[in-house]
Every structure is written in C-alpha cells, then in structure tokens.
Amino acid sequence: MTNLPDKLNRRSFLKVSALAGGGMMLSFAWLAGCKPKAPETLGLPKEWFRLNGFIKIGENGLVTILSPNPEGGQNIKTAFPMLVAEELDADWKNVRVEQAPLDTDNFTRQFIGGSQAIRTGWKALRTAGATARNLLIQAAAQTWGVSAAEISTEPGFLLHSPTGKKGHFGEFASLAATMPVPEEVQLKEISDFRIIGHSQKNVETHNIVTGKPLFGIDYKKEGMVYAMIIHPPAHGLRLKSFDDSSARSMPGILDIFQIKSHQDEYERTFFDTTSFTDLVAVVGKSTWEVMNAKKAVAAEWEPFSTYEESRDWGQRKELRTIPGGLESQEQQLQKMDEAAKNPRTVRKDGNPEAAFASAAKVIERTYRGPFLAHNCMEPMNFFAHVHDGKAECAGPLQKPELTEQALSTRLGLPIENIHIDMTRLGGGYGRRSYAHWLIEAAVISQKVNAPVKLTYNREDDMTGGIYRPMYQATYRAGLDENNNLVAFQVNAGGLVEPPLYADRFPAGAVANYLAEDWTVASNVTVGSFRAPRSNFIAAAEQSFLDEVAEAAGKDPIEFRLELLQKAKESPVGERNDYDPERFARLLEQLKTKSNWGQASTGVSRGVAAYFCHNSYAAQVVDLKVESAQVQVDKVTQVVDCGLLVNPDAAKNLCEGAVVDGIGTAMFGELRFENGAPVQKNFDGYRMIRMKEAPKVIETHFVESQEDPTGLGEPAYPPVFAALANALYQATGKRLYEQPFLKQLSNS
C-alpha cells in the first residue's frame, strides 16, 4: 500500500460536507497522493506491423489488439483482447487495446446481442492469437537459422533454449507480417492459460474516471452542425404538415425541413424497425438552440390507415400488417385476452387434456407484463458526414453491419464507401440495435451538405418506440393424488410477438405437456430488450412453479430438482434445449451457498432458476417489508456460463443484472392512451434508486471447463421471480402483474 505523503495534512485531503449528510469526500489532491506507482510499460513504437485483422506489433514489442465488437459496458473490449493475447503469449501489461471500426473484411458478427460474443468468438479469437504467435516463431526461426520446433515463447518474448537466444516480439514483427499464414495452429490447453481465467482490469477504466471522451455524445468534428428531429406524438399518427415560420427566426437556426428515413417501398430487415419515418429535422449551431427551436415548430398530424410492411428476416420473408388507430392499454389488454382463446400449438407431449381431466388438483394463473422503455443513460445520438460520394459516421450502435446495409440502400451509396466508427455505448440493452437515428443523421447531412450531430432528448426516445413488448401468459398445472406434476400447459403471447420458449424447462420433465402461443398486431413498435422474451416468461414460469410447489406441499428447490431428475432419467421429447444435470448442479450449489432452509428472523426468501443464452442462473432473494417499504437485504446467485474469461468482469455483469432486474420488476411500466405513451421522462417512468438496490449481492460460478457461454443476459430473467416469490413470503400476496410496486400498493 502506498504511504501517505507527509506534506498532506488532514485538512488537505479530508472534507466533511453537511450537505452530504456528514459524509466523507476525498479531494483530488488526496486521490493524486494515493496513486500507486504505475508498472513500467513500453512507449509507443515508431512503426507498427500488422500480423492479421486483430494484431499489430511495434518494433519495440508493444502489442496492439483490436477489439471488433461494440463496447456497451459488458467489458467485451477487455475480454476479446484477453482471448487473443492468451494465445499470442503476449505480456498483458504491454498490450494496447483499440476499438476497431466496422470492418467486414477482417471481422464477422461485429455486434452486441444475444450474449453470444464470447461464445462465438472463443475459438476464432484464440486462433487469431495463435496464428500470430506461429508467424513470430517462423520469423524467429528464419532469423536465427534454427528449427521452428525448437522455439518457445514466454510473455512477449521468443526463446531458443539450445543456443540461449532470446528476442522480444518487436524484433521479428516486420518479417512475421510477410510470412505465409499456416493452415492449422495449436491452441493452448486450459491448464496453460496465463491470462484467460484471471481477472484483468477494464482497459477503459482510466479513460472513464478521467473523463476522456469515449461516447458518441462526446464526438465532435470541425464544422459540425447540430440536429434534432420532431416525430408524431402518438403511434398511429403521421406527419401532415408543419409551420416553421417562428422557429426559423430563432437564434442559431440554420434550416428546418422534412426528411424520410426509410422509403415506403424499402424491404426492411430484422433491425430496421422504426416507429416514424416521416420527420421534421431542425438544424442549428448548437443542441440547445435546436432544442428550443423545435418547440416552436407547429406540426400537424393525421391518423394513418392499416398498411403492410415487407420484412426480410434472413430465413424467411413476410408481409407484416401494421394496423391503423390510436391504441390504449385497455384495448390492448382486451385484444390479448381474445387472441389467447385461439392459440396455435407449438409443442405437445402425451395427452395433456386427459391428464388435466383426471388430475386431483389443477392450478391456473395468468401473468402480465407491460411495455418497457430501455432508458439508456446516454441519449440516442450519431454523427454523420455525407460528402463526395461517401459517408463517414460515428456513434453508439449495437448492430453496425446490419445498419450499414440499410444506410447504403437509403443513401444510394456502395457499402465500401461507408465508414462507421463505433464509440462506447452509454447503455444499449437492445435499444441501440435499431439505429434509425444513424439513418436520420446521414439523410440530414446529405441535405445540408455538412457534418451533422443528431441528438434525441429523453422524450424523443421514450415516446419514439422500440419497447419491450407487452406480454401475457396463462399457466395450468395438474397434480395427482400424490402431488406429482402430471400435466403442464402454457398459453403465452403478446404485442407483437410471443414470449414462449416451448422447449425449455419444465418441458421434458412432464409426461403431458402443452405449449401454445399467439400474437396481436399493433402499430406500437417493439424490439429486443435485455434477455428478449426470457425477461418476462422466466418471471411468469418461475413464479408459477413456486405456487405449484406450495400446492404440492414441497420445498420449491426440491420440487425443481425432482422435475430435473425426471428430465435426466426419462426425458420427454427430443427437443429439450437444456442439460438437466447442469441445471440440477446449479440448484444444489445455490442451496449450499444461500444456506437454503435456514430461516432468518424477519427475512423472507424467494428462489428462481432459469436457462437462457446457453447459460444457467439461479438466485435466492432475501428481503424485508417494513412500513410498506421493500428492502432487499441480500441476493445470492449461482451462474453456470462455462469457463470464465475475466472473473471480476463476470461478477460485475451478474451484479448489474440483479439490480437492473429488481428495478424493472418493481417499477418498470409504460402505458398508452390514444396511441401516446403516458410516461415521457423520468418524472413518470420510475427507475430503481441506490437505496433500493440490494445491500449485498453474492455471486458464485459453477466451476467448469466447458466453452464459455452467454453472461450479459442470463442472470437478468430469474431475479424477477425470485423477488416475487420472496414478496409472497413477506406479504402473503402472489404477484401476477408487473410492476410489483403497483400491485403491492393496491393490496
């Protein structure tokens, strides 16, 4: 530990603020005094040599690794380079990391989504590192005139033991860059890992805490003008006309005009969803001036009629019906109830109808989840400069490759003339998958012939669509006279997609099983939200299983383990997408880590477990309800995501998922009246506050040498139900609708 500098007295580093409730704050002088001595690292080289799409090595041995995927807080910008550096056998302290731009020639799957980055990049990135190591060995062998088989590596160096020769990577980088790429390379054994599996600090930590511009909102360029858009106030409306006479005379305003982000005949792909394509653009010298001017634009809106939208989903194409009309929540709920009466059968095992008819006890419950807004802390924004037959863009987005294709079509430019730099995301959660604001920024830039920074305000984003869908699920369970689960049915749907995963637990564990789904068309645009569909269906399913366990007189964990044992010994069906043995091992470890079965005075407990994104997560929530206030004392969670790449980062992801899930379950809700969202900003849309976060989150990982699987999303869905089940134990009230706070307040 660094000793305190003698010249700093107490007054120079310790300040007590009455406004902060008597808390302690450390001054910048004190923080500087506590700065530990930095490890010795290499300076920037004079020349770089690129070995492949991921790796550049300087003549002094400094290694630069390019991280291809967008960084949205999931720490992929550290994890990806760790995979490359491990197989390269680089010295981590002499590794620089750069965010790669969109580059489809050198990289694949350059996007955030589905918690699949590490899983899909596990072998590819390691192979890139191993290939570069092989090239360095070949170059050293040629330089030294020895056999490549006799050369080994240690972090940052090549060695030839018979002669004692040793050289750092930089000495051979220029020659290695010219060597033929080997057809095959040998990857390390897990037991030989020096970087993977060992916690490494986020490579952006210093930049974040020192306020270095990293986010799209920070991006600036000389000559840049600022823009905002005006969209209809309600879903079901479109632009009819606008009067900008007052706004044009306001200070700093350069132009106001109508734009169309997607042409009517455009066949949209998966992430081309957008609520409004006919918009008013306001352009000026500053965001503040533009924000004021947009309030002075008098726009007139009109309802649109039902129409069809062409969609290309990759594997299939469809014409999707977009109904006209201004929707309200009551109407939406009525349509969902009607649709649930005419579902389609997705999976059927055994004879569920007969099993329910002969069951000694039948439990039936219906669960609902509202629309949810993503509410990323960083507003939607993007920079675009369209000029001389090319487009230069920069900003935060999750699916740059797919957005690039849409941009190419809209601007009429070849893809090779489009360049997209990816900035750090100030929150994504699926919202930035639908980067229509990039298209809008580019269209505006093309119109004004200048570099443009487009920014949404909070109301633009929260009222502009791309929400977590509104869902509903009805469950039925049949128990025989011995309280065995003999029949299970789920009927689930939503606006505009169903949340059902028919082949997940408890499918495969019940002899008579029926899964049905349905959809309701809507002009409210929806899309991916952290752990899509799982974020609702896990809450409903795991809450229901808790109630079924109680009806059967069984401990909720033992009840699940009993079903998993059946799925292991005598699985029903052939499409079960979970491993019952891994699932059971997860729950057994949770029992131990949470001291399940050992009651604490005044503390109520709930449990839930779920499989999604190829990973398993289970949680126990301990809470108290005092004077109508819910305080989560502790969350114990166990996660099986295969081999951990960066343990500290993995823990951070899971902790964040718990806080996010509890906040959404308790408070998240967006309602509609006459097509317009009722909640338009944080004064109406409730977010979790620091005092409402769990006091303790204890995270454990199942030890595994399986290839890594998803982690950004799997720990999110089960905490909804674990919280609901704990609240039932505390209040005696089962919760069937989100947000939970509203249900508790109405009890």
Q: Which of 195, 225, 250 is the last residue of a domain?
A: 195
Q: How many domains does the chain have?
A: 4
Residues 266-278: what's their mean pLDDT? 91
Residue 461: φ, ψ to 5°: -75, -50
Question: Can you give the pLDDT at residue 105?
Answer: 85
On whether both 23 and 78 belong to a single domain, the answer is: no
On whether both 186 and 231 belong to a single domain, the answer is: no
On whether both 292 and 390 belong to a single domain, the answer is: yes
Question: Can you give the pLDDT at residue 58?
Answer: 92
Report whether 514 contacts 352 (CB < 8 A): yes
- pLDDT tens digits for range 203-218: 999 999 999 999 999 9
- pLDDT tens digits for range 561-604: 999 999 999 999 989 999 999 999 999 999 999 999 987 888 99
Question: Can you give the pLDDT at residue 314?
Answer: 79
- pLDDT tens digits for range 472-528: 999 999 999 999 999 999 999 999 999 999 999 999 999 999 999 999 999 999 999
- pLDDT tens digits for range 663-713: 999 999 999 999 999 999 999 999 999 999 999 999 999 999 999 999 999
On whether both 53 and 94 belong to a single domain, the answer is: yes
**Number of CB atoms found within 10 A of residue 542's CB:** 27
Report whether 661 contacts 716 (CB < 8 A): yes
pLDDT confidence bin for 747, thresholds 50/70/90 = low
Q: How far apart are CA 140 and CA 155, in angstroms?
A: 15
pLDDT confidence bin for 22, thresholds 50/70/90 = very low
- pLDDT tens digits for range 314-373: 778 889 899 999 999 999 999 999 999 999 999 999 999 999 999 999 999 999 999 999
On whether both 446 and 577 belong to a single domain, the answer is: no
On whether both 81 and 174 belong to a single domain, the answer is: yes
What is the token pair recorded at 425? 């995301």
DSSP per-residue codes, 620-680: EEEEEEETTEEEEEEEEEEEE-SS-SSHHHHHHHHHHHHHHHHHHHHH--B-EETTEES--
Q: Which of 195, 224, 246 is the last residue of a domain?
A: 195
With a pLDDT cut of 70, the percent of the chain lying above it is 94
Residues 6+ apart with CB under 8 A from 484: 552
556-569 helix and 580-594 helix, angle to the nearest 10 degrees: 160
CA separation (Å) from 439 to 204, 218, 443, 452, 676? 28, 19, 6, 12, 24
- pLDDT tens digits for range 94-120: 999 999 999 888 888 888 888 889 999
- pLDDT tens digits for range 164-178: 999 999 999 999 999
Tell me the residue range of the domain where 30 lies.
1-37
On whether both 548 and 677 belong to a single domain, the answer is: yes
CATH value at residue 407: 3.30.365.10
Question: Can you give the pLDDT at residue 15?
Answer: 29
SS3 604: strand
With a pLDDT cut of 90, the percent of the chain lying above it is 85
**Number of CB atoms found within 10 A of residue 647's CB:** 14
Which segment of 20-29, 424-433, 628-637 scores lowest on mean pLDDT? 20-29
